Amino acid sequence: MSELAARLRQLRPQFLAQVAQAAGAITTSKDDATRFYDALIAASETEGTPASLFEVFKQWGDLTTLHLLRQWVWETVRLELPPAEALQMVMALEDHFAACVLCLTERESERQAQATEAQLRQMRARLERLDQSKSKFVSVAAHELRTPLTLIEGYARLMMNEVEAEQFHRLEMFLQGLEGGVKRLEEIVEAIVDISLIDNDMLALSYQPLWLGTLIQQLQVELAEVLAERRLTLNTVNVVDMGFTYADSERARQMLLNLLENAIKFTPDEGAITVSVQALPGFFEIAVADTGIGIAAENLEHIFDKFTAVGNVALHTSSKTKFKGGGPGLGLSIARGIAHAHGGTIWVESPGYDEQALPGSVFHVMLPELREPPNVASRLERAEETRALPRHLSPV
Ligand code: ADP
C-alpha cells in the first residue's frame, strides 16, 4: 500500500466527521462522500489515471460537488497533519483532482452535445411532420377541388348539349368561357397534385418502351395550331430514327410539353423553337432551345423551384400560350421531378434576360437509356450515377 493511501486511510474518520458537520448545507449524502473518499484511497494506491474516482463521478457528481469534496479533504489534512506534510499531501492529491475536473468537463460537454443533438432531432422531426402535413393538406385539398370541378364541367357540357340552337348562340360565349376556366383550374389542381406526389417521393412511373422521336413529333402536331397562331416555327433536329428507351411515356410527354409550352410563352411572335435529341453513352439528351427573352443568370437555378415565376406576376396574362403568359410556377418543378424520378437530370443555359436582344434559352434533359424496365435497385444506382455527373451536367 502506498504511503499516501495509508495516510488517507488514517484520516478517513476525520474526513467523514467534516462531512457530517456540513450535513444539511450540502446536497451530497454521507454515503456518496464515503464512496468518494474510498475511491480516492484506491486511486492513491495505483499509478496513472484515477479510474476508481471516474467510476464514482460517472454515477453522480458535478464540478461543484467535486470542489466541495476537495475542500473537505484539504480541511481534514490541514487540521490533522503538520504543515509540511499537509502541503505534500495536498500536492500529491492535486493530480487526482485535476484528472477528475477534466473527466467531469468532458462528460459535461458530451452531455451538452447529446442534448443539442436531441434538440436538433426533435426539430428535424417537427419540420418533417410539418412538411408531411403540408403535402397531405395539398393532396386532400386537391381531391376536394377536383370533385366539384368535375361536376361543374359535366353540367356545363350538359347545358351545351341541351340548349336549343337559337339560344345556344347567345349562351355559347358564356359556356365556352366557363369551360375554359374549368379546364385551366383542372390543370392547376393536377399540377398541385403532381408536386405533392414529387415532394413525397410518390411519383410512380409506369415504364414502357418510349420512342423519343415519335413523342416529339406527336407534340409538334398537338401544338401546331398554337404555333401557327403565334407564328412560331418548331424545328426538330435528329429526332427521326432515334432509338427507344424504357420510360413513363405519359410523364415524359408532360415534361417535354411543359418545356415546349414555356418556350412558346417566353418567345415573342415569329420566333423559333428547336428540339434536338442526342444519343450519348447510356443517356439520351433532349434540348429545347428558343429565341425568346432568356433568363437572368441569378434565376437559372431558382426557376426550377416550385411557385417561382420570374418578373412581375401581376403583369402576366393567364394564358398558357400567349407571350409572357403566367402560370402557377410549377411547370419546371414538375419537369425536374419527372426527370429525377427517371434517374435523369434537367438544367438550363441562357446568356441572360433581354426582351429586346432576345438571347433565348436552352433547356437540357438527360434521360437514361434503358433496354428494359428498371428494378428499384438499379434505379437507385442510376440516381447515384447521376449525382456523379460532371458539374455542368449535375442535377439542379
Ligand atoms: P409557369 O407555370 O409560371 O410557366 P414554370 O415553372 O414553367 O412556371 O416556369 C417558371 C419561370 O421560369 C417562368 O415564370 C419564367 O420566368 C421562367 N422560364 C421558364 N421557361 C422559360 C423560357 N423558355 N424562357 C424564359 N424564361 C423561362
- Residue 189 cell numbers, joined: 389542381
Asked if pLDDT for residue 220 goes beyond 70, the answer is yes
Q: Which of 30-39, 67-76, 164-173, 306-315 has the lowest mean pLDDT?
A: 306-315
> 114 CA distance to ligand 1 centroid (A)?
45
Residues 261 and 183 in one domain: no
Alpha-carbon gap, residue 295 to 350, rounded angstroms: 6
Within 6 A (CB) of ligand 1 lie 258, 262-263, 266, 290, 292-293, 295, 303, 308-311, 326-333, 361
Give the end of a domain, one of 179, 202, 225.
Answer: 202
Q: Encode pLDDT of 144-153 as tens digits.
A: 888 888 888 8
Residue nearest atom 13 of ligand 1, based on CA coordinates: 309
Residue nearest atom 12 of ligand 1, based on CA coordinates: 303
Q: Which of 92-106, 268-282, 334-348 has the lowest mean pLDDT?
A: 92-106
For a pocket test of ligand 1, which of 302, 332, 365 has the largest count of ligand atoms closer than 8 A to its C-beta? 332
Asked if pLDDT for residue 180 goes beyond 80, the answer is yes
Give the end of a domain, one of 202, 237, 256.
Answer: 202
Average pLDDT over residues 340-356: 96
Residue nearest atom 23 of ligand 1, based on CA coordinates: 263
Residues 223 and 171 in one domain: no
> 172 CA distance to ligand 1 centroid (A)?
33
The answer to whether residue 264 sits within a structural domain is: yes
Alpha-carbon gap, residue 92 to 19, rounded angstroms: 22
Residues 137 and 23 in one domain: yes
**Position in ligand 1 atom list of the atom nearest CA 290:** 23
> 140 CA distance to ligand 1 centroid (A)?
27
> 133 CA distance to ligand 1 centroid (A)?
28
- Residue 115 cell numbers, joined: 442534448
Residues 231 and 376 in one domain: yes
Of 230, 221, 244, 375, nearest to 290 (Cα)? 230
| C-alpha dihedral sign at 261, 267, 269, 271 | negative
Residues 60 and 166 in one domain: yes
> 75 CA distance to ligand 1 centroid (A)?
79
The answer to whether residue 233 sits within a structural domain is: yes
Asked if pLDDT for residue 391 goes beyond 50, the answer is no
Q: Encode pLDDT of 154-169 as tens digits.
A: 888 888 777 766 666 7
**Position in ligand 1 atom list of the atom nearest CA 304:** 6
Asked if pLDDT for residue 346 goes beyond 80, the answer is yes
- Amino acid (one-letter) located at 54: F
Alpha-carbon gap, residue 351 to 294, rounded angstroms: 7
Q: CA-based Rg of the chain, rounded to a whole angstrom?
A: 38
Question: 366 and 285 in contact (C-beta within 8 Å)?
Answer: yes
Residue nearest atom 25 of ligand 1, based on CA coordinates: 294
> 224 CA distance to ligand 1 centroid (A)?
21
Which residue has better confidence, 129 or 138?
Answer: 129
> 326 CA distance to ligand 1 centroid (A)?
8
Asked if pLDDT for residue 23 goes beyond 80, the answer is no
Average pLDDT over residues 361-365: 98
Asked if pLDDT for residue 1 goes beyond 70, the answer is no
275 DSSP β-pair partners: 236, 288
The answer to whether residue 123 sits within a structural domain is: yes
**Position in ligand 1 atom list of the atom nearest CA 267:** 24
Asked if pLDDT for residue 365 goes beyond 60, the answer is yes
Q: For 174-188, b where at least 16 C-beta lie within 10 A, e where not — what string?
A: eeeebbeebeebbeb
**Position in ligand 1 atom list of the atom nearest CA 332:** 6
Q: How confident is the model at residue 318 (pLDDT cuts 50, 70, 90)?
A: low
Residues 157 and 133 in one domain: yes
Asked if pLDDT for residue 139 goes beyond 90, the answer is no
Q: What is the mean pLDDT of the chain?
A: 85
Asked if pLDDT for residue 210 goes beyond 90, the answer is yes
Q: Encode pLDDT of 235-266 as tens digits.
A: 999 887 777 899 999 999 999 999 999 999 99
**Position in ligand 1 atom list of the atom nearest CA 328:** 2
Residues 196 and 223 in one domain: no
**Position in ligand 1 atom list of the atom nearest CA 191:** 2
**Position in ligand 1 atom list of the atom nearest CA 363:** 23
**Which pTM was predicted?**
0.64
User: How many distinct structural domains can be found in the chain?
Assistant: 2
> 258 CA distance to ligand 1 centroid (A)?
9
Instruction: Give the single-character DSSP code of 46.
Output: S
For a pocket test of ligand 1, which of 257, 262, 301, 330 has the largest count of ligand atoms closer than 8 A to its C-beta? 262
**Total number of residues shown for the chain:** 396
The answer to whether residue 395 sits within a structural domain is: no
Residue nearest atom 19 of ligand 1, based on CA coordinates: 262
Q: Encode pLDDT of 103-114 as tens digits.
A: 888 888 888 999
Residues spanned by the domain of 148: 1-202
Alpha-carbon gap, residue 378 to 247, rounded angstroms: 14
Which residue has better confidence, 341 or 328?
Answer: 341
Asked if pLDDT for residue 295 goes beyond 90, the answer is yes
Residues 193 and 288 in one domain: no
Which CATH number goes with the domain that contains 341? 3.30.565.10
- Amino acid (one-letter) located at 42: A
**Position in ligand 1 atom list of the atom nearest CA 329:** 8
Residues 155 and 49 in one domain: yes
Distance of CA 191 to the CA centre of its chain: 20
> 324 CA distance to ligand 1 centroid (A)?
9
Give the end of a domain, one of 172, 202, 232.
Answer: 202
